[in-house]
Amino acid sequence: MKTIARLWLTAACIGLPVAASAQPAPSRAEPTVTSCTNKQTLNAVAQSLGVNIAVNRANAWVFGYDWAHVGFKSWASNLDRGWKWDANQFTTNMFVHPYHGSLYFNAARANCLNFWESVPIAFLGSWEWEYFGETFRPSLNDFYMTGFGGPILGEVLHRVSAAVLDEEADGAERIGRELAALVINPVGGLNRLVRGQWTRHGVNPPDRISDSYLFQAKIGARRVEEVEGQDGVASSPTLLLDISLGDVFGTPYREPLDVVHMLAQVSPDGGGLNLLRIVGRLYGKELTSGDGWQRHELLVNQRMDYVNNPVYHFGEQSLEVGVQSLWRTGPSGFHLSTRLAGDAVMLGAIEALAEPQEDRTIDWGPGVGAIAEISLERDGRTYLSWYNRVRYLRAVSGAPANHTLLFSGFDITIPLTSQLGVGAYLSGDHRYSHYTEKPDVDRAYVETRVYLTWTLGHRTPDPTR
Amino acid sequence: MRGDAIRCAVAIAASAILLTAGAVGLSGQQVPRNGFWLEGGTGTGTIRSAGSAAERSEVTVAYGRSLHLRVGGAVSSRVLLGVELFTLDSDDLALQQGDPVVDAQNGSVGPVVLWYVGGSGLFLKGGVGVARGTFSARSATGQVISAKRTGSALSFDVGFDIDVARWLALTANLGTYILAIGDVSVEDASVDDLVATVYEAGIGLTLR
């Protein structure tokens, strides 16, 4: 066992030194955030392995977890038995694993692989971890969440960290920015550190900051309750971060996730990080001329949803295909934005209410869905929005079950100054679960929020104005 | 223990070779398939059945005949998108150790991405989609009883195009399909939370 540990430790040390030795100093014309020319695929593979070794050894040596003491016996057992569904906590399954996947993905991004080239590295890292990083049998839901969630979360972190960095900054500001980027994108930050880029003066990538971006912080209170239910009411302070990079109509399609929207909610004593929703454009094609009063774009989006509030849990990795439209309303600059899309849920997760035993807390399954949204916007800022989403999940873990979910919400923001405003949000979510071997479940949930908003952003001017 | 070590070493070595070949090839230039392409192939494979509570000794394996059909187009110099239909038919699968065998037809349909690695024709494939499993057994009265389940599927392949003509290639594939089917019960055979793992070796023709 000690020999294995030494081998693992040795391998863990491979990745970053290889990066240091193999990566030449960037030329002044080379660097961009989303693409660079010196692809180091072997470095990416080595670093994803290094991530796994580091995480495994930390869990074995620092935290002393038995499951981290892997070896030939556990590896052979895992190879023999293959995949199963696991019963980990919802947060571990639906947030920690996508975050873990973002580390693999950004090992590839930090070595100049593009989005599509980095996706296999996320799956590779997850496969290594599931078979060789734990004594537990490989978990198929973890593989899905890491492999699909890692790229979308990782790309957001990659782009946000790139926006934080400033190659032209010096001194304490430079170190502060590098440290902040390290926190946001650890693998990318470590690569920069090893390559000596933390102090090297250079030229900022031209795409360092998106042409259009919007950063909105909302702080206030929220209340979530189950209607006529037994789970009661939970009220708490809340902080929402709403980040948009790119704009569907202002940013012509160039590459995957050139337009991405992320919404995260943290509520102390109210579920902690209880909401993370990322929608990123994988492909887009404008269907109109671009200068009319109506504009329509065909979109293929990747979507990640994580809802873990005190009264219900839901999550998914899905693909959306639909049309987003912009409807100009007049010379004021206000316009209506609509989105109609169908969804293929690659894997969804919802509480297994019919089987609340310790060994089954989540129903996993693929599904389909649809989404209809309308919002009133101006200069990229949303004043009113209303959404409806429906999901049908077919559980393939545990007792046969079909889940139908309807999510509806309304949001209003009233500006007070150019950056400050007040807002409110009301949503009603409904769940109907049909179990073939247990009684059906029919539940509804309501969430309300009131908050102050602070907005920072820049939008590409609307050419129709 | 020694057997485990050898098995692990072989598995790791095979994975390393595949991944390294792919990784090294990622710097290549040519795409063997341009524009619309169609690939059909057949082969042989194994399906492994292990329920949620299966121990190592309870895993069952059966052999079968495989068939795949892919069609798609090229979206960049090295990346292809397409749709794949895959099936593997086996007539001697025991869902769990000790169960009577059943006829099992398992497969998947869904989008796939192919990454060409280098100009040699080597490609990696990943796919996600819908899995379908049909399990049939004959009852004591001679009646055929079937259980059909739908679930989710993931697939990973490494393949190689061998040029035959400008528009035709012979294509070899090694792949794995992870088919999450769910609970299956047919006659006296049953398994909880079936996640069938299929390993397949096949050969086919590609029109491009």
Residues 317-356 of A with CB under 8 A from B: 346-347
In a domain, A436, yes or no: yes
Which phi-psi region, left, alpha or beta, contains residue B28 (left: φ > 0; alpha: ψ -120 to 50)?
A: beta
Mean pLDDT of chain A: 87
Residues A228, A190 within the same domain? no
In a domain, B23, yes or no: no
In a domain, B1, yes or no: no
Write the DSSP symbol of residue A84.
B
Q: Alpha-carbon distance B97 to B54, whole Å?
A: 9
Determine whether the interchain pair A120/B56 forms a contact, defined as Cβ–Cβ distance below 8 Å: no
In a domain, B63, yes or no: yes
| Residue B87 distance to chain A (closest CA, Å) | 19
Residues A257, A371 within the same domain? yes
Q: Taking the CB of residue A357, how many other CB atoms lie within 10 A of it?
A: 9
Q: Which residues of B touch A85 (CB under 8 A)?
A: 52, 180, 193, 195
Determine whether the interchain pair B56/A73 forms a contact, defined as Cβ–Cβ distance below 8 Å: no
Give the CA count within 13 Å in the CB-facing half-sphere of A19. 29
Residues A249, A365 within the same domain? yes
What was the pLDDT predicted at A273? 92
Q: Taking the CB of residue A54, how many other CB atoms lie within 10 A of it?
A: 16
Q: Which residues of A touch B128 (CB under 8 A)?
A: 148, 346
In a domain, B71, yes or no: yes
Report the CATH number at residue B113. 2.40.160.20
Report the CATH number at residue A276. 2.40.230
Residues A188, A217 within the same domain? no
Q: Alpha-carbon distance A364 to A141, whole Å?
A: 8
Q: Which residues of B touch A75 (CB under 8 A)?
A: 4, 8, 11
Domain boundary among A137, A167, A194: A194
In a domain, B69, yes or no: yes
Residues A182, A221 within the same domain? no
In a domain, B9, yes or no: no
What was the pLDDT predicted at A333? 83
In this complex, is the C-beta atom of A123 within 8 Å of any C-beta atom belonging to chain B? yes
In a domain, A318, yes or no: yes
Higher pLDDT among residues A14 and A89, named by residue: A89
What was the pLDDT predicted at A8? 40
Q: Alpha-carbon distance B163 to B121, whole Å?
A: 8
Give the global pTM: 0.87
Give the CA count within 13 Å in the CB-facing half-sphere of B2. 0
Determine whether the interchain pair B182/A82 forms a contact, defined as Cβ–Cβ distance below 8 Å: no
Nearest CA in chain B to A78: B56
Residues A240, A269 within the same domain? yes
Q: Alpha-carbon distance A457 to A436, whole Å?
A: 50
Determine whether the interchain pair B193/A72 forms a contact, defined as Cβ–Cβ distance below 8 Å: no
Evaluated on CA atoms B158, B163, B169, B170, the torsion sign reads negative
In this complex, is the C-beta atom of A72 within 8 Å of any C-beta atom belonging to chain B? yes
What was the pLDDT predicted at B29? 45
In a domain, A205, yes or no: no
Nearest CB to A82; choose among B5, B182, B195: B195
In a domain, B184, yes or no: yes
What was the pLDDT predicted at B56? 74
Residues A148, A177 within the same domain? yes
Write the DSSP symbol of residue A58.
I
Residue A3: phi and psi, rounded to 5, are -65, -45
Q: Taking the CB of residue A293, how many other CB atoms lie within 10 A of it?
A: 12
In a domain, A79, yes or no: yes
pLDDT tens by residue, A296-311 = 999 999 999 999 987 7
- Which of A396, A402, A435, A438 should be substituted to probe chain B, the one whose Cβ sees the most B Cβ atoms within 10 Å? A396
**β-strand pairing of B37-49 with B189-207:** antiparallel
The number of distinct structural domains making up chain B is 1
* Closest CA relative to residue B157, chosen from B196, B189, B199: B199
**β-strand pairing of A441-458 with B37-49:** unpaired
In a domain, A227, yes or no: yes
pLDDT at A15 over 50: no
Residues A231, A114 within the same domain? no
In this complex, is the C-beta atom of A397 within 8 Å of any C-beta atom belonging to chain B? yes
Q: How would residue A104 be classed by pLDDT, with cut points 50, 70 and 90?
A: very high
In a domain, A199, yes or no: no
pLDDT tens by residue, A4-14 = 444 343 344 44
Domain boundary among A138, A160, A194: A194
Higher pLDDT among residues B80 and A341, named by residue: A341
In a domain, A98, yes or no: yes
Q: Alpha-carbon distance A349 to A343, whole Å?
A: 15
Q: Alpha-carbon distance B85 to A49, whole Å?
A: 32
Which of the residue ranges A121-125, A287-291, A372-376, A432-436 would you say has the lowest mean pLDDT? A287-291
Give the range of the structural domain holding residue B190, as residue numbers without chain letter.
Answer: 29-207
Which phi-psi region, left, alpha or beta, contains residue A333 (left: φ > 0; alpha: ψ -120 to 50)?
A: left
Residues A229, A155 within the same domain? no
What was the pLDDT predicted at A230? 62
Determine whether the interchain pair B59/A82 forms a contact, defined as Cβ–Cβ distance below 8 Å: yes
Helices (H) and strands (E) in chain A, counts: 10, 12
| Residue A339 distance to chain B (closest CA, Å) | 23
What was the pLDDT predicted at B188? 79
Q: Which residues of A touch B5 (CB under 8 A)?
A: 72, 76
Residues A182, A329 within the same domain? no
Which of A38-42, A358-362, B20-24 has maximum average pLDDT? A38-42
List per-residue pLDDT tens for chain B, 208 residues long. Answer: 445 555 555 555 555 445 545 444 444 444 568 789 999 999 999 999 887 777 777 889 999 999 999 999 987 777 889 999 999 999 989 888 888 889 999 999 999 999 888 777 899 999 999 999 999 988 888 888 899 999 999 999 999 998 888 889 999 999 999 999 888 888 878 888 889 999 999 999 999 8
Q: Taking the CB of residue A456, how many other CB atoms lie within 10 A of it?
A: 10
In a domain, B21, yes or no: no
The number of distinct structural domains making up chain A is 2
Give the range of the structural domain holding residue A106, as residue numbers without chain letter.
Answer: 2-194
- Which of B18, B52, B197 should be substituted to probe chain A, the one whose Cβ sees the most A Cβ atoms within 10 Å? B52
Q: Which residues of B touch A346 (CB under 8 A)?
A: 128, 152
Residues A51, A97 within the same domain? yes
| Residue A396 distance to chain B (closest CA, Å) | 4
Percent of chain A with pLDDT over 70: 88
Residues A140, A260 within the same domain? no
In this complex, is the C-beta atom of A81 within 8 Å of any C-beta atom belonging to chain B? yes
Nearest CB to B152; choose among A42, A120, A347: A347
pLDDT tens by residue, A145-183 = 999 999 999 999 999 999 999 999 999 999 999 999 999
Domain boundary among A194, A227, A249: A194
Higher pLDDT among residues B16 and A429, named by residue: A429
Nearest CB to A73; choose among B1, B150, B156: B1
Q: Alpha-carbon distance B179 to A140, whole Å?
A: 10
* Radius of gyration (C-alpha) of chain A in whole angstroms: 23
What was the pLDDT predicted at A355? 59
Q: Which residues of A touch B180 (CB under 8 A)?
A: 83, 85, 140, 364, 396-397
DSSP string for residues in A68-82 = G---HHHHHHHHHH-
In a domain, A200, yes or no: no
